[in-house]
Amino acid sequence: MIGHLRGTVIDRGMTCVLIDCGGVGYEVTASSHTLSKLNDIGAEVSLRIYTHFLEHKISLYGFASVSERELFDLLITVKNVGPASAIKILSAGAGPIEIAQLVAAREPKSLMKIKGIGKKTAEMLVVELHEKCEALLSFWGASTLEVEVGSLVLPSSSGERFPLQEDVIKALVQLGYRKPQAEKVVDLLPVDPGASLETVMRQALQAMPR
């Protein structure tokens, strides 16, 4: 089982990165949080890997930090939350701490704002993981009260966007990208309330398909 990859970034997409390790290219699915931390094409990267075996397919999921991998391992223990669903959840906040705080704070309504999480799944996450997320936050040295739940900016499933997101979409279109493509990428990006236009624009450009 592959648990770690170190190599050179060959290509990147909205949801995955291609890493050359000794002449072999590994396609690794990752959250937008991890993808935003990766260096440019040609740079060396190091990712923790979860290997998922299916009958006719092997999938690799990568994480830039130990904390994100630890939260992922908890998420996939919940019924109907597979690796792909867990990656979507991890893509929805400013980082694993914020997602863990939502679960620890027993905020199913806030979790339902994340694309792909319905009422039943949100409730199951809270019921099954709130104590484990409290323990995880304690282990990380983070308090469940450090960040107010209402301050988190999550991708919206309602189709509404924040002004900063609209500005980034307009800028991408001016650079020659198609608007539907730009909207799809921006809607998947976690947006920190204090982020600048330049920061989010850089993340969007890194996530745009090549």
Give the Cα separation of 209 and 55 in Å (integer): 29
Residue of 50, 136, 44, 124 lying closest to 87 (CA atoms): 50
**pLDDT 10s digits, 53-68:** 988 889 999 999 999 9
Quote the tokens at residue 62. Answer: 């990568």
pLDDT over 50 at 190, yes or no: yes
Query: How far, in Å, CA of 60 to CA of 83, rounded?
Result: 10
Amino acid identity at 106 = R
Please state the rounded mean pLDDT for residues 5-15.
91
Residue 194 has a pLDDT of 58
Q: Please name each of the domains of the chain with its CATH number.
A: 4-63 (2.40.50.140), 66-151 (1.10.150.20), 163-207 (1.10.8)
76, 124 Cβ separation under 8 angstroms? no
Average pLDDT over residues 155-176: 72
- CA pair distance 59, 52, nearest whole angstrom: 5
Task: With cut-offs at 50, 70 and 90, classify the pLDDT of residue 158.
Answer: very low
Query: Model confidence over 92-137: pLDDT tens digits?
Result: 765 788 888 888 888 888 888 776 678 888 899 999 999 999 999 8
* pLDDT value of position 132: 93
| Residues in CB range of 189: below 8 A, 6 or more apart | 32, 36, 155, 165, 200, 203, 204, 207
Average pLDDT, the chain: 82
The answer to whether the beta carbons of residues 190 and 92 sit under 8 Å apart is: yes
Give the model's confidence band at 159: pLDDT under 50 very low, under 70 low, under 90 confident, else very high.
Answer: low
Between vectors from CA 77 to CA 71 and to CA 83, what angle results, nearest 5°? Answer: 70
The per-residue pLDDT for 171 is: 84
The DSSP line for 56-105 is S-EEEEEESSHHHHHHHHHHTTSTT--HHHHHHHHTSSSSHHHHHHHHHT
Q: Which two tokens stand for residue 48?
A: 């923790």
pLDDT of 94 reads: 59
Close Cβ partners of 175 (under 8 Å, ≥ 6 residues apart): none
pLDDT surpasses 90 at 193: no
